[in-house]
Structure 1
Amino acid sequence: MDFKLHFDHYNINVADRDRSMEFYRKALGLKEVGHIDGPDGAFTITYMGDGSTGFRLELTCMRDHPQPYDLGENETHLALRLDAGQDYERLREFHRQMGVVCYENPAMGIYFIEDPDGYWIELLRPEKL
């Protein structure tokens, strides 16, 4: 393939924009890095980012869909890895205190947190150098 691609964003639909923004700010340190308002307020798109990479999490909130989304058996998920030197156990304890840890596999060095809409986010230990 002659094309060079890079990851730009990952989209999820959310029922409550403000609640989701607060979750991603508090749980993962993301902040709003962009915003689009749809015609006549039909939707809002909020881009959340870490401020150091170009990757963005796109939160789409549809005006006429305030109810929870049925995620069914959707097992796709966003995964984040801590940078080298970061304290994985401290972050996991922070998420436990928030009450958002939904699955842990210590043998694999991973755990998942669940956002307000039921999406799972995988947290990985820093890579060993």
Structure 2
Amino acid sequence: MKFTFAHNNINVFDLEKSLNFYKQALGLVETRRKEASDGSFILVFLGDDTTPHKLELTWLRDRTEPYDLGDNEIHIAFTADDYEAAHVLHKEMDCICYENESMGIYFIEDPDGYWVEILPQKR
């Protein structure tokens, strides 16, 4: 028996704001969308045009407050083929929330407070 990753999911409060962030910060593009017939939710799958792995953003119509991420001890990670240029972009976007220079990594924060780790392609 073999399992392969399909996608990771996060819930987002403002779908358009999140879609814009993931496009600008990471170059992710929408690959699929599912909208509930009653309008109660929208699922948007984002891809990197390289791997089959997807990030699923879930928007819930009845959500009235931003999500409480608790200790926010989970994250997703991306490698950057040009780590220095990625760092410049994210610094300009003012979304870097933590840097660990000794490990050669940093984290950016999305509009809902989720952290995304940025790694150089070759470590």
Are 1:119 and 2:114 an aligned pair? yes
The AA in structure 1 aligned to 2:25 is A
Q: How many residues are aligned here?
A: 123
Corresponding residue for residue 57 of structure 2? 59
Q: What is the percentage of aligned positions where both structures have the same residue? A: 50
RMSD: 1.0
Scaled by the length of structure 1, the TM-score of the pair is: 0.91
Letter paired with 1:58: E
Aligned to 2:15: 17
Partner of 2:82: 87
SS of residue paired to 1:34? strand
Residue 104 of structure 2: aligned partner:
109
Under a length normalisation based on structure 2, what TM-score does the superposition of the two structures give? 0.96
Structure 1: unaligned runs, 5 residues or longer: none
1:70 is aligned to 2:65: no
Runs of 4+ in 1 over 3 A off after TM superposition: none
Identify unmatched segments of 5+ residues in structure 2: none
* Residue 81 of structure 1: how far off its partner (Å): 1.5
Aligned mates of 1:93, 1:52 — CA distance in 2: 22
SS in structure 1 of the partner of residue 103 of structure 2:
coil
Matched, 1:100 2:98: no
Asked whether the 8 Å contact 1:16–1:66 carries over to 2, the reply is: no
Secondary structure at 2:85 match in 1: helix
